[in-house]
Chain A
Amino acid sequence: MSTQTAIDKTTATNEVRAERTRNCATYQPAVDIIESPDELTLFADMPGLRPEDVDIHFENGMLTIHGTVAERQPQQTRFLRREYGVGDFERSFRIGETIDAEKISAEYVDGVLKLHLPKVAAARPRKIEVKGS
């Protein structure tokens, strides 16, 4: 992900992304990105959300995934062990022009967000047959 390019672009279009003001921690989900001949597939571990809490935003070549977490625990519980924090998930990726942004699709199963980023037809590998005479 090229942060520098992302910043340049934001300045160029004179556009400012609002900072989030929700008072809770934000975590970067762990992701896997796999390329097949037809698409890039992105998997992000984002446990504890409902599908409707996941927001996927694509603008100016930046793909942002955001998950808003609901409060999990009532206040009066006594914690004996806490190994993970509960908070929102957010991560941004710069997507090249080889991706067909119109056809990006997503699903959320067992706490994992799966994003399909199909390639534009021109970027897909083609096999050219060699004809003999």
Chain B
Amino acid sequence: MNLIPWKRKEAETSLAHQPRTLSTLRNEFDQLFDRFFGDLTGEMPEMFGARGAWLPAFEVSETDSEILVRAELPGVNAKDVEVTVSGNVLTVSGEKHEESEHREGVTYRSERRFGRFQRSIELPSAVDSDKVSAENANGVLTIRLPRTEASKPKRIKVNTN
């Protein structure tokens, strides 16, 4: 199942290098559960392989002015990535190609995954789709989605009489 390889990288983390506190461990479990059960409701068809031979890992964060989406796409050329925004759904699709050496030589170790992927993410607030920008640098895709004026948080001053 596609879910497993996302997590593999973290599972292999060398404990010797990383003194973990209970709170970071708890956070990781929270994220694991959020993702698993979140996916069950939101991305069911995707999860069962309807789309994509592999699924890249995503990171979504927000500031007052924009929503920032990052994805780890090592080995995916910028020309092979497509980003679309439709309403409040962001869709990222693309393809990771095998290097020519894979076809010519004998494979000793094969841990990386190739092929097409597609993921759709529901955005937490309205964005100005005309001003969305995307950049793929060193295997990390960064998408900046500026919030619409109406969806930006406003600070209301409390007056005293």
- In the assembled complex, 12 residue pairs joining A and B whose CB atoms fall closer than 8 Å, in A order, are A19-B17, A27-B9, A27-B10, A34-B106, A34-B108, A45-B112, A47-B138, A77-B68, A80-B61, A84-B57, A110-B138, A111-B139
Q: Using an 8 Å CB-CB cutoff, how does the interface string of A35-59 with B read, 1 for contact, 0 for none? A: 1100011010111111000000000
Chain A residue at smallest Cβ distance from B141: A47
Task: Give the B interface residue count (CB, 8 A).
Answer: 47
Chain B residues positioned under 8 Å from A36 (CB to CB): 101, 104-106
Contact in complex: A32, B72 (CB < 8 Å): no
Instruction: Among A25, A32, A81, point to the contact of B107 (Cβ < 8 A).
Output: A32
Shortest CB distance A88–B (Å) = 8
- Excluding A27-B13, A79-B60, A111-B75, 12 further A-B contacts by CB distance (< 8 Å) are A28-B12, A28-B13, A29-B9, A31-B109, A31-B112, A43-B112, A76-B63, A78-B61, A83-B57, A84-B58, A84-B72, A110-B73
Tally A-B pairs: CB < 8 A.
144
Interface of B is mostly: mixed
Chain A residue at smallest Cβ distance from B107: A34
Q: Using an 8 Å CB-CB cutoff, how does the interface string of B6-22 with A read, 1 for contact, 0 for none? A: 10111011101110000
